[in-house]
Amino acid sequence: MGSQVLKFVPYLSCFAHTNPANLAETAERIEMHVGSAAEPTAAAATHPLAASVLTDGALAFLGELHERFEGRRRDLLAARSERQICLDRGLRPEFRADTAHIRSGGWTVASAPADLTNRRTEITGPVTREFMISALTAGADVFMADFEDATAPTWDNIVTGQANVAEAYRGELTPPPYTTTLMVRTRAWHLEEKHITVNGEPMAAALVDFGLCVFHNAGSAVARGTGPYFYLPKVEGQDDARLWNEVFDHTEARLALGPGTIRATVLVETIFAAFEMEEILYELRDHITGLHTGNWDYLFSMAKTFRNDLAFVLPDRDRISVTTPFMRAFTELLVATCHRRGAHAIGGMSGVNPEGKDEERIAGALRKVKVDKRREAGDGFDGTRIAHPGLVPVAQVEFDKVLGSRPNQIARQRDDVFVMPEDLLTLPGSDGAVTLAGARTNIHIVIRYLGEWLSGNAAVMIDDHLEDTAMAEVCRAQLWSWRHHRVEVSDGQILDDALLDQLINEEFAELQAFLDPAQWEAGRYDEARDLLRALITTDDYPEFLTIPAYELL
């Protein structure tokens, strides 16, 4: 079947800016302003911090966001399901013909605010008080407080995390001077927050995270010379970006913030976003500052999106890196696209823990980090991500060598980059490159990770790396694919249900022997094992492991 362009039905922008009020407007005035709206009010589960986080004004604002945007969110999700049917029939994404005028136009995005001009080192992690203090004092240029992949969405984690973020915005979490710019990653459009409802419907988790953060902190952020800055995960293209832009426009008008006060960086973590990077930048051009290469989520997206196509069965993870041709095409295209439009290009994350016990292993891992960051800086990236404070100086050195006194290298145009659809869609073959060891490693990681995630911890140290949900998703996607396509592993065995069951039981027993009794008792590894088995032995592919896992929290 011939390839066709895959696109969503366009939406119309329905909100305009109003005259901005004083940018230093206090949170108290915002509370009064929103609380007077004639909109349904969200209902929230009880929590000890409700009086400061789940205020009447905040819940009224959430109710308003739900009423205005929930229908649109559901339309997006329905369109994704319809698109998957087309993909299963053999259609493949291309650069959209109907948006060629955007790609050929001479537009640029709005200039970044002063405290988002230099982003050479960005640290990311959960919204726990301990980690946030460590991250904000590590010397990085940016800290991304993560409500998504690094935070298990227990009700206590979400509410306490919002309180911690508010304290950081007020400048009370760490002592001055404040040299690290705070950004917040919301959860993605497909997730729901069951503890906050409007007329009995659970709210979109993305709107809960965004709404509580901007409502409580926009005033104090602007007053301190910064602003409400966000990272947007798993955006799949122009229409996702358009919806976010309308949420931003509406919020700025509703909270009397100046146009463009809200700023965002989009994580390019899906194959569709790779094909629509220019369109994403265009839709968010008044609010966006850059794009980030979400390498592990991107790999997961490839496995998930083309799960029924044998040509997209991935080999063992250690055979794929950011220099593998299809990944290289993706990262090069991102830099070229961002710089052409005046936006930052932020490189991938390193989760190495430089304080691990195996000194020789850590030394080797740190050498790889240096090489990786040196490559990113040389390719034109304006900054990079790390997950451990100890890696800040490692990344800083490599970007300092290239940038010198410049805050970024947006002026460096990558006109040498020319990427065709096939460059993004040609994966390395899996024949002979799937091994029992690779299957065992994936099983170990998922059980270990989910065992802690279900206990409330989503930033898990595994083999001297701080792992988040993205790694677990890649591992279980590969296991499902290998079983679904009856892949023959390197020793000649077929990776079928019987062999998978054997490997799961063996890895489960080894994990129990490896962890000390206190660690084992603190986790929920029995449930993690059972969930993994259910996820990879069903013929109906579960889109995201966090959806069924969330029901167990």
Closest CA to 337 of 260, 280, 264: 280
Indicate the pTM of the whole model. Answer: 0.92
Query: CB–CB of 60/39 below 8 Å?
Result: yes
What is the arithmetic mean of pLDDT over 149-169? 98
pLDDT surpassing 50 at residue 250: yes
pLDDT of residue 38: 57
Give the chain's mean pLDDT.
Answer: 92
Look at the block and give the residue holding tokens 């259910």: 534
pLDDT of residue 552: 96
Closest CA to 122 of 182, 35, 176, 171: 182
pLDDT surpassing 80 at residue 18: no
Fold of 27-91+113-298+343-402: TIM Barrel (3.20.20)
Which residues are the active-site residues?
A: 185, 468
pLDDT surpassing 50 at residue 9: no
Q: Which two tokens stand for residue 136?
A: 């904000």
What is the arithmetic mean of pLDDT over 248-256? 97
Query: CB–CB of 356/464 below 8 Å?
Result: yes
What is the arithmetic mean of pLDDT over 310-315? 94
Instruction: Delimit the domains of the chain by residue range.
Output: 27-91+113-298+343-402, 436-550
pLDDT of residue 16: 29
pLDDT surpassing 70 at residue 12: no
Domain 436-550 bears CATH identifier 1.20.1220.12: yes
The values of phi and psi at residue 32, to 5°, are -65, -40
Q: Which of 220-229, 350-359, 418-427, 508-517 has the lowest mean pLDDT?
A: 350-359
Report which residue type is found at 333: L
Q: Which of 15-24, 152-161, 440-449, 517-526 has the lowest mean pLDDT?
A: 15-24
pLDDT-derived band at 508, boundaries 50, 70, 90: very high
pLDDT of residue 542: 92
Q: Which of 73-77, 235-239, 360-364, 400-404 has the lowest mean pLDDT?
A: 360-364
pLDDT by residue (tens digit) across 84-134? 999 999 999 999 999 999 999 999 999 999 999 999 999 999 999 999 999
Higher pLDDT, 431 or 236: 236
Residues with Cβ < 8 Å from 46, sequence gap 6 or more? none
pLDDT of residue 430: 76
pLDDT by residue (tens digit) across 401-455? 999 999 999 999 999 999 999 999 999 887 779 999 999 999 999 999 999 999 9
pLDDT of residue 34: 54
What is the arithmetic mean of pLDDT over 368-384? 96
What percentage of the chain exceeds 90 in pLDDT?
Answer: 86
Query: CB–CB of 394/419 below 8 Å?
Result: no
pLDDT surpassing 80 at residue 300: yes
